[in-house]
Structure 1
């Protein structure tokens, strides 16, 4: 297994779940910008094994992590809406 940032996977998954409620563009560029902006405000959680991934996923099930993740994604979407980089 390669080294993976589980926070990135979870942010992408959560964005898929909430993007319709954000009122922002859903193009690949805007999605990438939202994820990038949000990840720069969240703590990375790197793993290199399946056991590590399972442990981190348990850790991220806390309501505080969920709140932080949602807040970062909403803030990112607002920033990207005001400054879109797509054509």
Structure 2
């Protein structure tokens, strides 16, 4: 079965808890999903379609830049959500 996945979603969700753990802001599920949504809306979509993830190996080369971009957007989104949480 072929799957379609936004690779940036995986990057953001994998990094988010580690980035937010030391920040003084609400970490309820609603706030965390708002942060993820805002960050992802500000990042380029990187879709991959693969049976066994062979495209993931090609994306590995760009992983560090994707992570830097994701961290930047997560921090900006966290500040925004912290100013006006919706929970």
Normalised by the shorter chain, which TM-score bucket?
0.7 to 0.9
Structure 2 unaligned runs (5+)?
none
1:2-38 C-alpha deviation (Å, 9 max, x unpaired)? 2000100110111021111222211110010000000
Structure 1 unaligned runs (5+)?
none
TM-score (norm: length of structure 1):
0.87
> How many residues are aligned here?
84
CA deviation after TM superposition for structure 1 residue 57, in Å: 2.8
The residue number in structure 2 matching 1:26 is 27
The residue number in structure 2 matching 1:56 is 59
Asked whether the equivalents of residues 22 and 74 of structure 1 are also in contact (C-alpha less than 8 Å), the reply is no
Asked whether the equivalents of residues 8 and 39 of structure 1 are also in contact (C-alpha less than 8 Å), the reply is yes
TM-score (norm: length of structure 2):
0.87
SS of corresponding position for 1:60:
helix
In 2, Cα distance between the equivalents of 1:22 and 1:54? 32
1:36-72 C-alpha deviation (Å, 9 max, x unpaired)? 000011111101110112211321223xx33321110
Deviating 4+ runs (over 2 angstroms): none
Structure with greater strand share of residues: 2
Asked whether the equivalents of residues 11 and 67 of structure 2 are also in contact (C-alpha less than 8 Å), the reply is no
